[in-house]
């Protein structure tokens, strides 16, 4: 039997890029992970031999994915915040509000009062059977959030960063206990809401027809720009490229015009290439997830281009409607989206 007591995943914000830091790890209740180091092997060929004779190890880097159910803990909040890059914290005690905004310039984190701007670089430590594996210089590359009927609200995050720290056979930390993880249960489908041309926090504006939704935020990190002569791994955090926000929605019915209850997109207008230009008050799509007391995530997407719908039928199955969408940059809001993360954790999620 596998030694489950050895297994854990923790993150820590680095003081400087690529410097391993594992004291005070923030642990997550992780379902699975896939971190691994990659090597670029240089092969030397010459005219005197019919096959390659020598190799040398070139660049080293690592990447991996993490999947877990959304929780109101610092682990989840920090990863979410790194999809936006700017956090303004308000509130007091165990009722804190972190307003997350997109940033135009890729910078390291800096704090001024209640406002922290910039992306974190993280050391990620993974406990596996017999030893700990440390991956420094990890930065968020993409984040996916999904909600389905009779399931927890699930998240997955992809990271890229420096090669694994193999300076020693790193010892495992002590086995996780309840003291190391969040006390409340994970968010689930009962607390997931979607609004169209409205705000998910307003009960009267939530759609009663959404069966599932998945949202993906991709920062498209440029790993080539992170390399430099004289080093086998990244010397600076891979810079963000073009931000992409895409998603998929499934409704529990065919969604013809007569079934449009709360400004949901319906088949006819989707077939003609629907584009919705919302604003800060009435975003095109608003996602709202709630957990325990003082725990929630609101994501507002201002401007959306929908793809043609899929509403085919098969046998006696109930007809539903699926559609994909792509967020666009909104000139009025000077952003594609914003988010509000409410939590009982007192720490600013980017500091």
| pLDDT score of 22 more than 90 | no
Domain ranges in the chain are 4-343
Which residues face 148 on adjacent strands? 212
What was the pLDDT predicted at 259? 79
β-bridge pairing 122-128 and 8-13: antiparallel
Q: Tokens 């495992």, residue? A: 172
Alpha-carbon span 77 to 300, nearest angstrom:
17
Alpha-carbon span 74 to 76, nearest angstrom:
5
Report, as an integer, the average pLDDT of 24-35. Answer: 95
What was the pLDDT predicted at 342? 97
Compute CA distances 148 → 64, 76, 245, whole Å: 24, 19, 19
122: Cα within 13 Å, side-chain hemisphere:
31
% pLDDT > 70, the chain: 99
**176-190, 217-231, 271-285: range with lowest mean pLDDT:** 176-190
Report, as an integer, the average pLDDT of 232-256. Answer: 96
Q: 94: which 2 tokens? A: 């165990």
Q: Write out the DSSP string of 170-227.
A: PPPPPPP-GGGS-SSPPPBGGGEEEEESS-TT-GGGB-S-EEEEEEEEE---BSGGG-
What is the phi/psi pair of residue 7, to 5°? -95, 130
| pLDDT score of 1 more than 60 | no
User: How buried is residue 270: exposed, middle or buried, by Cβ count under 10 Å (0-12/13-18/19+)?
Assistant: buried
Alpha-carbon span 274 to 204, nearest angstrom:
24
Alpha-carbon span 251 to 253, nearest angstrom:
6
What end-to-end distance do the CA atoms of the chain give, in Å? 39
Chain segment 270-301, per-residue pLDDT in tens: 999 999 999 999 999 999 999 999 999 999 99
- What three-state secondary structure class fits 270? helix
Please answer whether residues 143 and 80 qualify as being in contact, where contact means their C-beta atoms are separated by less than 8 angstroms: yes
Q: Tokens 């992780």, residue? A: 30
β-bridge pairing 131-148 and 210-218: antiparallel
What was the pLDDT predicted at 2? 63
Q: Model pTM?
A: 0.94
Alpha-carbon span 25 to 9, nearest angstrom:
9
Please answer whether residues 40 and 82 qualify as being in contact, where contact means their C-beta atoms are separated by less than 8 angstroms: no
């Amino acid at each position: 039997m596998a030694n489950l007591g050895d297994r854990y995943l923790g993150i820590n914000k680095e003081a400087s890029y690529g410097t391993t830091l594992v004291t005070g790890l923030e642990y997550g209740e992780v379902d699975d992970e896939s971190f691994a180091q990659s090597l670029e092997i240089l092969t030397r060929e010459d005219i005197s031999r019919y096959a390659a004779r020598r190799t040398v190890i070139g660049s080293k880097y690592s990447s991996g994915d993490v999947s877990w159910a959304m929780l109101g803990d610092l682990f989840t909040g920090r990863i979410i915040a790194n999809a936006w890059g700017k956090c303004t914290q308000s509130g007091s005690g165990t009722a804190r509000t972190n307003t997350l905004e997109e940033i135009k310039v890729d910078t390291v984190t800096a704090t001024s009062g209640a406002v922290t701007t910039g992306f974190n670089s993280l050391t990620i430590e993974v406990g596996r059977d017999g030893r700990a594996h440390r991956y420094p210089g990890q930065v968020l590359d993409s984040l996916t959030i999904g909600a389905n009927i009779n399931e927890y609200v699930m998240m997955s995050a992809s990271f890229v960063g420096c090669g694994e720290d193999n300076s020693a056979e790193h010892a495992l930390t002590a086995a996780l206990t309840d003291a190391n993880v969040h006390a409340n249960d994970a968010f689930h489908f009962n607390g997931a809401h979607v609004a169209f041309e409205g705000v998910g926090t307003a009960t009267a504006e939530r759609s009663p027809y959404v069966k599932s939704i998945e949202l993906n935020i991709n920062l498209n990190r440029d790993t080539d720009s992170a390399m430099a002569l004289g080093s086998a791994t990244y010397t600076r955090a891979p810079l963000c490229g073009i931000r992409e926000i895409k998603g998929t929605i499934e409704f529990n019915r065919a969604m013809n015009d007569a079934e449009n209850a709360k400004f949901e997109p319906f088949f006819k207008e989707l077939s003609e290439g629907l584009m919705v230009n919302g604003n800060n008050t009435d975003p095109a799509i608003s996602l709202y997830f709630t957990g325990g007391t003082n725990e929630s995530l609101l994501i507002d997407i201002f401007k959306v281009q929908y793809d043609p719908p899929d509403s085919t039928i098969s046998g006696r199955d109930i007809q539903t409607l699926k559609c994909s969408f792509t967020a666009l940059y909104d000139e009025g809001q000077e952003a594609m989206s914003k988010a509000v993360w409410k939590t009982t954790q007192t720490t600013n999620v980017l500091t």
